[in-house]
Amino acid sequence: MTTAFSLSFLAPVLLIAAALAAFRTPGRRPGAVPQISEVAALGALGLVALGLIQVIVAGPAVSSLFDGAGVLALRADPVSATLALLVAFIGWIVLRYSRTYLDGEAREGAFHGLMLVTLAAVLIFVMSGSLWLLVAATIATGLGLKRLLLFYADRPEARRAAAKFGLVWHGGDAALIAAALVLTSAHGTGDLSAIAASNGGAGIAGHMAAGLLVLAAILKTACFPLHGWLTEVMEAPTPVSALLHAGIINSGGVILIKTAPLVQTSPGAMAALVMIGGFTALFGAAVMLTQSAVKTSLAWSTVSQMGFMLLQCGLGLWALALLHIVAHSLYKAHAFLSSGGAVAAVAAIRKPGPVAVPDLGAVLKSFGLALLLYAAIAGLFSVAIGPKTAQALALGAILVFGVAYLVAQGLADTAPAELTRRTVAASLAATLAYFSFQAVAQWVWGADLPAAPAPGPLEWALIVLAVLSFGMVALAQSLFPLWAHHPATAGLRVHLANGLYLNALLDRAIGGFRTTKSS
């Protein structure tokens, strides 16, 4: 590592300068502010891209305000540079989209200013090299996002969603502050590299800090049971939803990846990530199937995906978790910004829905074929590249259950031959892609992240439980058209559509259902 300056560190400065110009004209059609915002975001993307090139050519760079104290430090390495490039790219796309979407709004200039400041805070967050800068950046991100969620402050639903977001997000901030205090006291520094080099400092302080970091990550990724706020932020403008679901919601995963050497020293913390993340993934996927609104379905998809990302962290597959963040962010940004077109496309279809509904026999046959396909390709990759860890093989088995759903569509009795050919090709491509992307992710980021630990009895039990649970849910999803509208399951469908009413309980706890009587 070299102590040097990276051009990517200038990106937040450029965004904040543009934000100050936007705040000077906060009203409708604020002159050149939309264009300035887009140009600033594009400039930030260019600086971050140059910073990534610096990392590739010259290696990691660190800039610290107080050398050795680890109070305020920015770090550019393969992990942080990748995340910064992802954030800057999505930020530029969202701000470009906002020029048209927000045109003519009463507070158009203020919106651009808030988006720029929030984007700058997220960039500082992903490039943080110290715990205290990480804390300051995540607090700033939460404050900026809350103001964006309240862009239409006259809407009661927006106020309720913002209140719940603030409660959960800043609860995560409190856990992160507590972890920073414990680690700073134990190590005499808040520098993340120094803490990682000491192997996290095993002992009571290390386990306590790991638990607090996991708690912070769980709260910031909208995990079960405090997930409800994420499904209610649709009252904010679409660019806010895109930035939230494609970038900010990944904050918990970023915290875990940045502190991976410490978190991995605590088996209890890793087990908590597997159990809570896995259950959240299953719960979100089940509820998503029952949603009729496009954006609400996407929100529940994010809940599920964030749970799956925490599961990957709990298994010690840090490079795959980072790859998941990149892939999910790009997909979800596109999904939200194109959601209006998706509605029009579905409405234009005369008979929406599955072309062929598989029966139980076809589903069971598809699961068997998918597992055989997976075993064959896993064996080929193990011979060509090297043996895979138990965690990676288990995760692949979970993913192949999704492949089984594709195969089931092609094996249905009413499936056209063309559908069968396409599903077989898609299944083969998905299985090959998993192992290929896993190898690429390990090659790009593996040297900067800890290797997955050898599983013990607890880890083996959790791996088996996760595979069986995801297998049963995948089976239920494959048979969804058969049981979803059956009279015996009508009640279950209603309960799932309402998220088992956990969000209503949180509403009641914070007074979200209260109404003020007019005088």
Average pLDDT over residues 414-440: 75
Residue with the two structure tokens 């991995």: 264
Task: Report which of 399, 233, 215, 241 is spatially closest to residue 310, judged by C-alpha positions.
Answer: 215
pLDDT-wise least confident of 159-173, 229-243, 315-329, 352-366: 352-366
Q: What percent of the chain has pLDDT over 70?
A: 86
**Residue 181: its pLDDT value, please?**
93
Average pLDDT over residues 449-455: 87
DSSP letter (8 states) at residue 449: S
Assess whether pLDDT exceeds 50 at residue 516: no
What digits encode the pLDDT tens for the residues 71-87? 788 989 999 999 999 99
Assess whether pLDDT exceeds 90 at residue 45: yes
CB 135 within 8 A of CB 177: yes
**Residue 174: its pLDDT value, please?**
96
Q: Give the model's confidence band at 486: pLDDT under 50 very low, under 70 low, under 90 confident, else very high.
A: low
Handedness of CA 510, 512, 514, 517 (dihedral sign): positive
Assess whether pLDDT exceeds 60 at residue 346: no
Average pLDDT over residues 430-444: 85
Q: Higher pLDDT residue, 238 or 387?
A: 238
pLDDT-wise least confident of 125-139, 193-207, 290-304, 501-515: 501-515
**Residue 407: its pLDDT value, please?**
72
Q: Give the model's confidence band at 111: pLDDT under 50 very low, under 70 low, under 90 confident, else very high.
A: very high
**Residue 173: its pLDDT value, please?**
95
CB 171 within 8 A of CB 510: no
Q: Higher pLDDT residue, 299 or 122?
A: 122
Assess whether pLDDT exceeds 60 at residue 352: no
Q: Give the model's confidence band at 391: pLDDT under 50 very low, under 70 low, under 90 confident, else very high.
A: confident
Among 104-113, 334-343, 474-483, the range of highest mean pLDDT: 104-113
pLDDT-wise least confident of 33-37, 39-43, 167-171, 451-455: 451-455
**Residue 349: its pLDDT value, please?**
53
Q: Higher pLDDT residue, 197 or 391?
A: 391
Q: Higher pLDDT residue, 258 or 347?
A: 258
CB 224 within 8 A of CB 275: no
**Residue 357: its pLDDT value, please?**
64
218-to-89, 308, 501 alpha-carbon distances in Å: 26, 12, 20
Average pLDDT over residues 495-516: 68
∠ Cα 184 188 189 (to 5°): 65
What pTM was estimated for this model as a whole? 0.88
**Residue 146: its pLDDT value, please?**
93
Assess whether pLDDT exceeds 90 at residue 156: no
Residue with the two structure tokens 């990748």: 82
Spatial neighbors of 128 by CB under 8 A, at least 6 apart, are 73, 74, 75, 80, 134, 137, 192, 258
Q: Give the model's confidence band at 292: pLDDT under 50 very low, under 70 low, under 90 confident, else very high.
A: confident
**Residue 228: its pLDDT value, please?**
77
Assess whether pLDDT exceeds 80 at residue 331: yes
Q: Give the model's confidence band at 420: pLDDT under 50 very low, under 70 low, under 90 confident, else very high.
A: low
Q: Give the model's confidence band at 485: pLDDT under 50 very low, under 70 low, under 90 confident, else very high.
A: low
